Structure 1
Amino acid sequence: MGKIPADYLPPKELWPDLIVPDEFKSLVAGPVNIAEEFLDKWVKAGRGAEPAILFGDQKISFEQLMKTANKVANALKILGIEPQDRVGMRLTNTPDAVAINFGLQKLGAIPVPVSPLWAKEEIEFTLNNAEFAAFFVSAPLMAAVDAGRKDFQFPTKIIVVGGKVDEVKAKGDYDYAELLSEAADTFENVKLSPDDIGVILYTSGTTGQPKGCVHFVKEVIIEANLVNKYVWKLKPGEVLGGSAPVSFAAGYGTFCLVPFAAGATISLLPKFSPDDMMSIIGKHKVNVVTGLPTAYRKLLEMPNFGDYDISTVRMYTSGGDALTGKTLALWQAKTGKPIWEGLGGTEMVHLVTSNTMSDVPMPDSIGKALPGFEVKVVKEDGSTAAAGEVGSMLVKGPTGTVYWKPYVQDSKLLKTQKKGMKDGYNMMGDAVLMDKDGFIFFQAREDDMIKSSGFRLAPSEIEDAIVRHPMVRDTAVVGIPDEILGQKVVAMVELEPHHTPSLDLAKDIINSTTDLLAKYKLPREVVFLPSIPRTPTGKMIKKEMRKSYPEYKDKFKLL
């Protein structure tokens, strides 16, 4: 078994307290294999012929998926890959991506999803930082890998999925189909300690180089079971659908972990488009839909929304960015069903809060802490925030943040690890408030909080007020340096189609918020943009907006 050097992890005194809920202790009481727990056991239970994956017109059964995963594990073993070796996955949404993940888990290797959205610099950094023994890459995603190849520091075996065999071999790489054609479809799963590493998820890299977040086997198994039990409540035979990439951290948990803990079926969509999404819901009779807020907003804009059959859906869920009460209300009016919002993170495997902790979703809330998690809100002085008071979100539970290779780059991540832990709690880096009933309301990333005239302002509260205006399509509120105020509140506004920026419209938008916002919270300036900059996963890029502020043209000062 590959041994993890001691200095590849921070000292244990800096780790968060990992609390194993009593109801899941039996799942991680001894040596265990994740693939055996999430895949093989359903075959052993007599469900081998039932569909595990729906992909277009294809139906891949649990037994077919298990046999392909066994082939992957055997092929890797022949290539010399050992348990606890890190293996990258930069794959499109196909059944093979799921099979590869389970093959890695069967061998006891560590899957490392590599976002299909990343450029060569991020790929190169992650490969070298994780020290990939092998790297599975879909042929359409090879360009950025080839571009960074000359800077790879390790003899990584690149396995191309879906490429032309001659071209793949000419580069010295391995062809996935050829490897599997020579591999047996039975495999003896490698049992790991619950304290061995189960997966390394890298952050998106929007604020610097990606950070490797280590999650142990027990975290993966418990979090998958916990999220399903208290959020999606999937049962065998039910279908989960969505469009998140399986090689993206959130999509990995959504399609490779949680539904398989339940023995449910996944519906894979190669790439999101509103029509494809709506079509596949009907075709695959999806029961639970998961999507980004931006995806739901695009679906709401469809003139032919009513042409699609979505009668099988019992639940819609969302995360990754603020849903907003406006989107929730519009969706519920159109479908008769709410969207259940929650908060998770790469650093926590998956969800830690959800609105499913209530009979009806609380508008603008990310819900309450899931059972097994403790959430508290603290002020800057370290004291506990009162109900309704903004503070820093701290989380403790069955999963937490342990950074990979904290001593490199002048111990950069060791400092982050120290800063991110407080009394065994993970400091999420989110400013939130919690009401007296335990509902949590996301306010901003702490770096995005605005300090103006001695007040600490939450952009989300101002954004929620602005977006209610009928002519506002999207908005982002940022703090811009000001000699007198410290920071002035500036509203970036994207208008609905066929509206023109003007001072009168800027005034009207801000005046519409005065019954919701105290005077000191009102934006002093409105900047109209063609669109609000967002990442491909829907998160606002406020750093870019603050940087580009001097170059923006349509600015209107109000105060």
Structure 2
Amino acid sequence: MPESSSRASTDYASTYRDFRWERPAHFNFATDVIDRHAAERPLAPALQWSDESGRSQRFSFQDLKERSLHAARFLTGLGLKRGDRVFILMPRVPEWWFLVLGCIRAGIVFMPGTPMLTAKDIRYRLEVSGAKAVLTDGSCLDRFEGVLGQAPGVTTWVSTGDAPSPWTRYAPEPLGESLAESQATAFPPTKAEDPLLIYFTSGTTGMPKMVLHTQSSYGQGHLITGRYWLDLKPEDRHLTLSDTGWAKCAWGKLFGPWSVGACNVVYDFRGRFDPVGFLKVLEREKVTTFCAPPTAWRALVLQDLKAVDLSSLRHSLSAGEPLNPEVIQTWKEATGLHIREGYGQTETVVIVGIFPGMEPRVGSMGRPSPGFTVAVIDEHGNEVADGQEGDIAVRVKPERPVGLFAGYLNDDAANAASSRGDWYVTGDRAVRDADGYLWFVGRSDDVIKTSGYRVGPFEVESALIEHPAVAESAVIGVPDDKLGHRIKAYVLLTPGHTPSPQLAQELQDFVKKTTAPYKYPREIEFVTELPKTVSGKIRRAELRATQKNQAAREQG
């Protein structure tokens, strides 16, 4: 663990100045962190789970050790080996955490996916990753209709419930297996640079890219997230609002809280986000620290915040995109707490944030995380002057920081595009002020952030083009008070089809069925041509400018 890891300091300047990473030859989050907590505080609460029906389960760190040992034995017993890749798609059920820790313990590379993915999305991920196994929940079996038999590399199919062949049933209980028997199975130490997990992240061109994280860099790196940004202590009860398929889950529902021994509070809901019900969860579970995306915060502050007892909360956080100042103010007036923002990516841990002891500045992302040199640079890789807009970048030379991904798998173009001299370029733009605070400007590419999700325009466009009425389309994000951005599609129709509200609705429904529902265009505009470059690439920037001008005229 880092030398400065005894506890989060309230003095940001000295913490940032003195922080140094340890770089062990071997590291494994399950054995080095979970097992350590199990030895030191075996009965301390580690996972507090509940769902919409009122069911509730509590697991200690000793339980996590035993369940993950069992999961590791179960997976290796199916023939899975260190380095094999498994795709895991489950809702927020305890089995997700047991299996993930089992994968980590055994050195099996897990690849999370959201239950919102469709068969097409899943099939792509299995094929491009070379997955050997699929781990899912009984409630998600329908997602694999049309996938079984179409993924030749997958040899093992596992479900938490009863399912027909070729599915194998996984039960989280040891089923008569003693802890001594579980421990008797030797899992050799994983090297620091061994692969840990792969995330799929949306880009502006092509299908989602594979982001590779290693055992030590990501497992250790999130100590920054947990101790310094979430500001967690062992006695805390932390809740992060995220489903299991997103990197934010790793930040606040896995590595972040458990890196410091805090309790991970999980609320499993399957439908639409219910802000009233969620506030009651915060009250009932006596949550002390809470993180949510801006979309959720915008809904929460519209409720009667005085009707619930939130006195257990000691701080609140937001990440994913900039949060509206009025939302921060409303929450602070009701609870006395400032919503502290943070910034990072699927490719990183938290790299910029409002940390304890730091003066909050509404609208700012904060200052660089301990262990990271973050700057605003120009197209030549030089730092720009304070007050000047540029690209957000992380210094990777002469030493690559812990917490940064190893690279995009099988994508030399993406790796080259994200490298500029001594820097990793995030793809976002910002301005730094004279005090070192960063202020987000926008994305330097076309990725759309909507309701906390990252959506690449190509993913939506490729779904639209499958409809016989669509000849071509272009997708952009349009600013939206509730969603952050809403997806808008400009559609060029094939001969014989006429624009109409009915056709627009048909196309929206078609996209929902073809790809994950959150990717559907909430607005469709039929056009007779699309702006393009000389080389034939769609000029989405021109579409965004046209949309902005149109909105200004309507407001005027």
TM (normalized to structure 1)?
A: 0.73
Question: What SS does structure 2 have at the residue aligned with 1:177?
Answer: coil
| Kept after mapping to 2: 8 A contact 1:72/1:183 | no
Question: What SS does structure 2 have at the residue aligned with 1:346?
Answer: coil
For residues 29-59 of structure 1, the C-alpha deviation after alignment (integer angstroms, 9 at most, x for no partner) is: 23232201221111111x1112111112321
| Kept after mapping to 1: 8 A contact 2:21/2:371 | no
| Kept after mapping to 1: 8 A contact 2:98/2:172 | no
| Kept after mapping to 2: 8 A contact 1:294/1:538 | no
Structure 1 residues 68 and 382, CA gap change in structure 2 (3 angstroms): closer
Question: What SS does structure 2 have at the residue aligned with 1:290?
Answer: strand
Question: What SS does structure 2 have at the residue aligned with 1:323?
Answer: coil
How far did residue 285 of structure 1 move?
A: 1.1
Query: For 2:32, which of 17, 28, 37 is the aligned residue?
Result: 37
Q: Which structure is higher in helix share? A: 1
| Kept after mapping to 2: 8 A contact 1:320/1:538 | no
Question: What SS does structure 1 have at the residue aligned with 2:430?
Answer: strand
Distance across 1 between alignment mates of 2:147 and 2:203? 17
Q: Which amino acid aligns with 1:326?
A: E
Distance across 2 between alignment mates of 1:539 and 1:125? 16
Match of 1:137?
Answer: 136
Deviates more, 1:47-56 or 1:113-122: 113-122
Distance across 2 between alignment mates of 1:543 and 1:400? 36
How far did residue 368 of structure 1 move?
A: 0.6
Equivalent residues in 2 for 1:250-399 (5 A)? Answer: 250-271=248-269, 272-302=273-303, 304-348=304-348, 350-356=349-355, 359-396=358-395, 397-399=401-403
Structure 1 residues 415 and 332, CA gap change in structure 2 (3 angstroms): same
Structure 1 residues 24 and 280, CA gap change in structure 2 (3 angstroms): farther
Structure 1 residues 210 and 179, CA gap change in structure 2 (3 angstroms): farther
How far did residue 539 of structure 1 move?
A: 10
Match of 1:172?
Answer: 166
Query: For 1:52, which of 38, 46, 49 is the aligned residue?
Result: 46
Deviates more, 1:83-92 or 1:246-255: 246-255
How far did residue 252 of structure 1 move?
A: 2.5
| Kept after mapping to 1: 8 A contact 2:20/2:371 | no
Q: Which amino acid aligns with 1:192?
A: T
How far did residue 536 of structure 1 move?
A: 9.3
Match of 1:422?
Answer: 420
How far did residue 151 of structure 1 move?
A: 2.5
Match of 2:104?
Answer: 105
Structure 1 residues 242 and 31, CA gap change in structure 2 (3 angstroms): closer
Match of 1:400?
Answer: 404
For residues 74-131 of structure 1, the C-alpha deviation after alignment (integer angstroms, 9 at most, x for no partner) is: 1111111111111221111122111111111111111211122222222111122222
Structure 1 residues 543 and 491, CA gap change in structure 2 (3 angstroms): closer
Q: Quote the sequence identity (%).
A: 22
Distance across 2 between alignment mates of 1:361 and 1:143? 46
Deviates more, 1:70-79 or 1:265-274: 265-274
Distance across 2 between alignment mates of 1:124 and 1:182? 36
How far did residue 72 of structure 1 move?
A: 0.5
Q: Which amino acid aligns with 1:328?
A: I
Distance across 2 between alignment mates of 1:308 and 1:539? 34
Question: What SS does structure 2 have at the residue aligned with 1:356?
Answer: coil
Distance across 1 between alignment mates of 2:478 and 2:127? 40
| Kept after mapping to 1: 8 A contact 2:19/2:370 | no
Question: What SS does structure 1 have at the residue aligned with 2:147?
Answer: helix
Distance across 2 between alignment mates of 1:308 and 1:335? 10
How far did residue 296 of structure 1 move?
A: 0.9
Deviates more, 1:241-250 or 1:370-379: 241-250
Structure 1 residues 61 and 345, CA gap change in structure 2 (3 angstroms): same
How far did residue 247 of structure 1 move?
A: 2.6
Equivalent residues in 2 for 1:66-145 (5 A)? Answer: 66-145=65-144
Question: What SS does structure 1 have at the residue aligned with 2:234?
Answer: coil
How far did residue 557 of structure 1 move?
A: 5.2
| Kept after mapping to 2: 8 A contact 1:293/1:538 | no
Distance across 2 between alignment mates of 1:205 and 1:183? 45
For residues 425-447 of structure 1, the C-alpha deviation after alignment (integer angstroms, 9 at most, x for no partner) is: 21000011111111001111012
Question: What SS does structure 1 have at the residue aligned with 2:171?
Answer: helix
Structure 1 residues 178 and 50, CA gap change in structure 2 (3 angstroms): closer
How far did residue 553 of structure 1 move?
A: 10
Q: Which amino acid aligns with 2:129?
A: A
Equivalent residues in 2 for 1:19-34 (5 A)? Answer: 25-26=21-22, 28-34=23-29
Match of 2:151?
Answer: 152
Query: For 2:194, which of 187, 193, 196 is the aligned residue?
Result: 196
Question: What SS does structure 2 have at the residue aligned with 1:399?
Answer: coil
Distance across 2 between alignment mates of 1:108 and 1:200? 13
Structure 1 residues 63 and 435, CA gap change in structure 2 (3 angstroms): same
Match of 1:437?
Answer: 435
Match of 1:244?
Answer: 242
Distance across 2 between alignment mates of 1:138 and 1:76? 15
Distance across 2 between alignment mates of 1:240 and 1:140? 26
Q: Which amino acid aligns with 1:249?
A: A
Question: What SS does structure 1 have at the residue aligned with 2:158?
Answer: strand
How far did residue 179 of structure 1 move?
A: 8.9
| Kept after mapping to 2: 8 A contact 1:400/1:426 | no
How far did residue 390 of structure 1 move?
A: 0.6
Q: Which amino acid aligns with 2:287?
A: V
Structure 1 residues 51 and 248, CA gap change in structure 2 (3 angstroms): same
Deviates more, 1:220-229 or 1:421-430: 220-229
Structure 1 residues 293 and 256, CA gap change in structure 2 (3 angstroms): same
For residues 179-217 of structure 1, the C-alpha deviation after alignment (integer angstroms, 9 at most, x for no partner) is: 953755423443111111122122146764221111111
How far did residue 340 of structure 1 move?
A: 0.5
Question: What SS does structure 2 have at the residue aligned with 1:437?
Answer: coil
How far did residue 494 of structure 1 move?
A: 5.8
| Kept after mapping to 2: 8 A contact 1:393/1:430 | yes
Structure 1 residues 110 and 24, CA gap change in structure 2 (3 angstroms): farther
Q: Which amino acid aligns with 2:305?
A: F
Structure 1 residues 492 and 96, CA gap change in structure 2 (3 angstroms): closer
The number of residue pairs the alignment matches comes to: 451
Match of 2:452?
Answer: none
Question: What SS does structure 1 have at the residue aligned with 2:351?
Answer: strand
Deviates more, 1:73-82 or 1:148-157: 148-157
Structure 1 residues 32 and 443, CA gap change in structure 2 (3 angstroms): same
Structure 1 residues 332 and 128, CA gap change in structure 2 (3 angstroms): same
For residues 299-356 of structure 1, the C-alpha deviation after alignment (integer angstroms, 9 at most, x for no partner) is: 1111x332211111111011111112222122212221110001111111x2111011
Equivalent residues in 2 for 1:462-473 (5 A)? Answer: none
Equivalent residues in 2 for 1:206-217 (5 A)? Answer: 208-217=206-215
TM (normalized to structure 2)?
A: 0.74
| Kept after mapping to 1: 8 A contact 2:211/2:409 | no
| Kept after mapping to 1: 8 A contact 2:222/2:256 | yes
Match of 2:175?
Answer: 181
Distance across 1 between alignment mates of 2:426 and 2:309? 39
How far did residue 386 of structure 1 move?
A: 1.1
Structure 1 residues 183 and 160, CA gap change in structure 2 (3 angstroms): farther
Match of 1:531?
Answer: none
